[in-house]
Amino acid sequence: MSQDTVVDLLAELVAFDTTSHRSNLTLIAFIEDYLARYGVASRRVPDASGEKANLYATIGPADRPGVMLSGHTDTVPVTGQDWRFDPFRLSIEGERLFGRGTADMKGFLAVVLAAVPALVDAELAVPVHLAFSHDEEVGCVGVRTLLADLAHQPVLPAACLVGEPTSMRPATAHKGKLAARLHVRGKACHSGMAPRGVNAIHVAARLIDWVEETAAAKASHGPFDERFAVPHTTLQVGTIQGGAALNIVPQDCRLDIEIRNVPEDDPGALLDALMAVAATLEAEMRETAPEASIRLERLGDYPGLSMADDHALVDFIMTLLDDRDLARIGYGTEGGLFQRELGIPTLVCGPGSMDQGHQPDEFVTRDQLARCEAFLARLAATLAGPEAHRLAEGEFPRPAPA
């Protein structure tokens, strides 16, 4: 494939404003048309609103397991960011290609699409699957309908590669995340009569104390996983809102809580422990105000990814790359869902760095795109080679010569 083709495709993809609050259907239609030009059929898996969709396609024989290349089509907003460039127009300065999503993760999508003609011509012995999702940036929401769809297919992929930006170094693990909102309902009264009311902010502060104490306990006692820069589960309160005026005992308070857990920890159990504290506080509140309450609203969650560093998939992918360093990532991906829901061995590996993702003047370098191109070319050669049948037998083929 030509890097000019990759750059041209990246320019097309960046021009679609697929910020998560917008529809991604125009981009999906573009990819559908592009794939169709090379005789590749694809199918949409829409969300309930019909305003967004995942896209799934298979290149090569569909009756046997293959390798899935997975990426999300949505991006984070540019609101409030100071960009030198139009974020939705690809700009190039030397080695750097600027635009929203260039690193996270339209650069990967562009390389994958540029590889399609070669994949079609390669006479693959086992398939390459393309899985493009929506609403990853708001909690890995959109891919779940695709997972449900794939669960009913007769043949699942043998392996998955999520192309999030890792500087083309495979990552075997990331933390899971659980986000929840607590609505504390107290009883308002004049602040001069404060004991007759129930101060919702004060109650919320006691819940915050629990979060802080539990976070400190995790930092001291673990469990620990040294694969992460912060090797333990973290808890924090990210936002809090409450009160109407200084001379009114606040009736309502709302706080948003986030748990990012190492694979050995159970975020559900931590949330249950928090709600046990909330139940005790609620009982105390109702001694003064029977209508008082603490209500839980789950905002979203996704599981962590945990693959052994010596898994056969790791070795297979490493031999297709030009170095053998593993990445350690601190952000979440859809990889844990593919692993947990479908049992598909999954790694994260893609061009660019999350140091640039989500930032103003986001960029990916030509070198990173070239490394991804070389990786996909060698993957295609391997899946068309004499060892490819081993993938259908639950093993990984020996890579084709470089």
Residues annotated as part of the active site: 74, 136
Distances (CA, A) of 96 to 81, 306, 368, 369: 19, 32, 10, 10
Distance CA 164, CA 349 (A): 6
Give which of 170, 156, 123, 153 is closest to 388, Cα–Cα. Answer: 123
Distance CA 66, CA 68 (A): 7
Name the helix (H) or strand (E) containing 282: helix 267-288
CA end-to-end distance (rounded Å), the chain = 16
To the nearest 10°, report the CA torsion of 225, 231, 232, 238: -140
DSSP string, 165-211: -BTT--B-EE-EEEEEEEEEE-B--BGGGGGGSB-HHHHHHHHHHHH
In DSSP terms, 92 is beta-bridged to: 97
Q: Are 327 and 66 in contact (CB under 8 A)?
A: no
Name the nearest CA neighbour of 127 among 192, 207, 175, 62: 62
Q: How far is CA 248 from the centre of its chain?
A: 42
Lookup: tokens for 195: 């004991």
Separation between Cα atoms, residue 264 and residue 303, nearest integer Å: 11
Exposed, middle or buried, 398 (CB in 10 Å: 0-12/13-18/19+)? Answer: middle
Say which residue the tokens 């390459």 belong to: 128
Residue 325: Cβ within 10 Å count:
11
**Could you give the 3-state DSSP secondary structure of residue 252?**
strand
Rounded to whole angstroms, how far apart are CA atoms 392 and 157? 9
3-state secondary structure of 304: coil
